[in-house]
Amino acid sequence: MRSDRWVMPKKKPNPTTANNKNNENNEEVSVFPMTEFLQWFSDEKRKLPWRSLTGGRNVHKKRDPYAVWILETMLQQTQIATVLPYYQRWMKRFPSVKSLSQASYEEALVYFQGLGYYRRLRSLLEGAKSLVNDHTGIFPIDRAKLLDIAGIGPYTAGAILSFSYHKRAAVVDGNIVRVLSRYYGLNADKSVLAQYGSAVWKKMEMLLPRRGSKCAVFNEAMMEFGSIVCKAREPRCLTLSSKNNGLFQTTNHLLAEHDHKYCTQDHAKGSVNPNKHAREHTRVVKQLNKKEWVCPLMKSCVAYQRGEVLALPKLKKQPKTEHVYSSVFIIKHRGRYLLLKRSKKERLSGMWEFPTLEHHMPHDNLTHQDFERFVRTQLGLKLKIDRALQTFKSSYTRYRATVVVFQAKFDDDSKILNAKQTVLNQTSSSVTETKLRRWLTASDLNTIGLSSLYSRIRAYLLAS
């Protein structure tokens, strides 16, 4: 029997939002220009040694987990340009987990000196021994087991799982924190965003492609993008774009530079190819006319639309910079230099150094007699301060150091006052652990590990 009752027709779903209804994650994934972003990476990625293992256009080949571990550890708080020579020398000397597990701290320090943050080196040595003893030298595929190894945190674990095993694992470093906090307008402190399980980690995991090899490409692309495009102080969307259309302000100038470069190269080779120049000119014009070439994420970037690019991510208020002063004494006797080894309880433990006095007064407020009294009390040596050789400036995270290098020599009738190799703690009257002394020739100086400051002093001495 037919009913005359009117029934409301079902609302037809909107094809653009049907799949994303009540699903915020899918909505954000659909907004992110993944295709354009990966195309940018394919076109603009830098040529780096470890990328020689990477295939062609956005094809990622699995990398040695040990090499990934070493590289990512060195890159912590250190720029790629600085790390490159260290990484290459390290991999030649310690090509495997087994070779590193058999190395002493002093031997490994020779290849790590100058990078700073020497706690990383101790973690690498401890982690290598753990891998050999507990995992037969093979990196586990399980995240929890990786995190149990010294020197491997959430970021490094994600890098190993993604780049070496092609697992669907996110990688979040400082560059990615900056990119995603700007793209999504995350108004939080950078240190909080970098913590595992934070909003940035969740966004990154949400954006990961389904295929493991694609995840590796995407992770690497995000780090590269933050390093060369979405920079902290000079993001490309602000420095290379105009307010109207996001295109390069100096397109004609760039084209002129490009044409001049190719002409110069061909003239140097003794041949000029007009067709080649025309093809390259056309290619560059097309490339410059794309907004995505400036920044593929600019269209949907929240911080860019709000004009808050430089305001995100938020940074913690930095403590006031402290100025410290140090005096380094070059004591040379019978062609050998005196060096001391820091104890385990001191900062930069295990590092060798020339005898050093740290003080909070400028050098002008201290006399040579003050320095001589220190050397006599602290080192048990009766010396005469000759003259100042050189002044060095060093910058660290929270303080700036002024270091003056003095030349010292023995008195004519001087002798070592006592045989005890003890050094008084400069902050109390207690005696610290014993420091080792070594008298080294100029050639021997190159065989021991020194921090970046003492490496500069060593280079100065060997050059003079």
Return the HEC string of the chain: CCCCCCCCCCCCCCCCCHHHCCCHHHHHHHHCCHHHHHHHHHHHCCCCHHHHHCCCCCCCCCCCHHHHHHHHHHCCCCCHHHHHHHHHHHHHHCCCHHHHHCCCHHHHHHHHCCCCCCHHHHHHHHHHHHHHHHHCCCCCCCHHHHHCCCCCCHHHHHHHHHHHCCCCCCCCCHHHHHHHHHHHCCCCEHHHHCCCCCHHHHHHHHHCCCCHHHHHHHHHHHHHHHHHCCCCCCCHHHHCCCCCCCCCCCHHHHHHHHHHHHHHHHHHHCCCCHHHHHHHHHHHHHHHCCHHHHCCCHHHCHHHHHCCCCCCCECCCCCCCEEEEEEEEEEEECCEEEEEECCCCCCCCCCEECCEEEECCCHHHCCHHHHHHHHHHHHCCCEEEEEEEEEEEEECCCEEEEEEEEEEEECCCCCCCCCCCCCECCCCCCECCCCCEEEECCCHHHHCCECHHHHHHHHHHHHC
Catalytic residue of the set 36, 72, 234, 280: 72
From 246, 112, 229, 109, select the one nearest 179 (Cα to Cα).
229
- The span from the CA of 419 to the CA of 397, in Å, is 38
Please say if 280 is a catalytic residue. no
Cross-strand partners of 438: 339
Residue type, position 59, single letter: V
Nearest 5°: phi and psi at 223?
A: -65, -40
Contact 111, 86 (CB under 8 A): yes
- CA 108 – CA 418 distance, rounded (Å): 33
Report the chain's C-alpha Rg in angstroms.
Answer: 29
> What is the distance between the terminal CA atoms of the chain, rounded to a whole angstrom?
110
Query: Dihedral through CA 427, CA 430, CA 435, CA 439, nearest 10?
Result: 80
One-letter amino acid at 78 equals: T
Active-site residue list: 72
